[in-house]
Amino acid sequence: MTESLLATFQQWLLFSGAVLAIGCVAWRSIVAAGARRAIGSSAEAAIAGMERTVAALGVGSSLVVAAAWMLRMVVQVMGFRDPFVPLWEDVSFLLFETTWGTVWMAQGVTLPFLIGAFAWARSGSTRAWRMAVFPVLALVATLALASHAMGVESARALFVTVDGVHALAAGCWIGALAIIVTVGRPAEGDEVGRRLFAAQLRAFSPMAVASVAALIAMGTALSWTHLGSLSNLWATGYGRVLMAKVSVAGAVFLAGLINWEEHLFYDTMDGALAVHRRAALEVGLAAAVLLLTAVLVHSVKP
């Protein structure tokens, strides 16, 4: 029981940190760039300040991923441990004689570059933000290579790619939205802040629509592959957790749709604050989806 809870917590930390790290890069590349074009020089100082804050959040999210990465080894050893052999033999076998160990080490190599890129970006360096794209993509690749998609022997490369796109889309949508909610809330009476918040949401909307479409398509493909048959959706523990995840994800989609349809109200302070509250709810529900995903990862497939 303790091992199962620890494994779920570790996976939730990993997913949450990765989604936020992806979101930081997506926000800087698409949302901040769109806001700059929409507002111009009048908000340049505010956007530059937000970029430094987002870079600091990137460092924090990367450190969360690093903590989850280290905890993953603990969980793996707990599940694999043979009490009749020395501990170092179990660890050595996991690291050097399993695919899991290769992916785990690759993820560990990626993390210093990710942390370093975000730390450098805090200075305001455009090059640092560009460099951060590469370790973020490498992180996404390691997540996919450690997923259930690796168990699809007939089309492994295809489904690992599908899983990677699924993770990337989640980060571009929920991760970037979490950044907007965290650093973009306009203060009462701050007209520049309200305009900047509205500009961010307008730049974010096309990316969010594309990400949701990718999530639904990739998620459907992965779910069908892992389930095997429709009856397993209600007849197995894996299927029931999946149904719970889909239900909460549906609530997230609904909250996002309401915000998207009410974009005209960004142009008033009351409307902007209402949209911010709904966006915060969207992010909170998404955190629950990530928790259910963590449970699903450690559930036995039908």
At 125-178, the pLDDT tens digits run: 999 999 999 999 999 999 999 887 777 767 788 889 999 999 999 999 999 999
Q: Cα(first)–Cα(last) distance of the chain, in Å?
A: 21
Structure tokens at 44: 């340049």
CA distance 159 to 217: 12
For residue 252, what are the CA distances in angstroms to 4, 43, 66, 283? 27, 31, 27, 8
Instruction: Please give the distance of CA 145 from its chain centroid, rounded to a whole number.
Output: 16
Quote the DSSP letter at residue 98.
Answer: S
Give domain limits for the chain.
2-297
Which DSSP symbol is given to 81?
A: -
Reduced to 3 states (helix: H, G, I; strand: E, B; else coil), residue 295 is helix
Cα within 13 Å of Cα(204), Cβ side: 30
User: Looking at residue 185, what DSSP letter applies?
Assistant: P
Coil/strand/helix, residue 236: coil
pLDDT per residue as tens digits for the range 176-227: 999 999 997 777 766 777 888 888 988 998 999 899 999 999 988 888 887 7
What tens digit of pLDDT does each residue of 27-37 get? Answer: 999 999 999 88
Please answer whether residues 256 and 212 qualify as being in contact, where contact means their C-beta atoms are separated by less than 8 angstroms: yes
- Residue type for 298, please? H
**CB contact at 8 A, 90 and 82:** yes
Confidence of residue 267 (pLDDT cuts 50, 70, 90): low
The pLDDT, as a whole number, for residue 252 is 87
DSSP class per residue in 57-74: HHHHHHHHHHHHHHHHHH
Six-digit token pair at 170?
């989640």
Give me the helices (H) in the chain, please: 2-26, 32-39, 44-80, 87-96, 99-121, 126-145, 156-170, 176-183, 191-227, 232-235, 237-261, 269-297
With a cut of 60, say whether residue 1 has pLDDT above it: no
What's the CA gap between 241 and 301, in Å, rounded? Answer: 11
Burial class of residue 170 in the structure, from the number of CB atoms within 10 Å of its CB (0-12 exposed, 13-18 middle, 19+ buried): buried
Separation between Cα atoms, residue 182 and residue 171, nearest integer Å: 15
Q: Is the pLDDT of residue 74 over 80?
A: yes
How many other CB atoms are found less than 10 A from the CB of residue 133? 15
pLDDT at 264 over 70: no
Global pTM reads 0.92
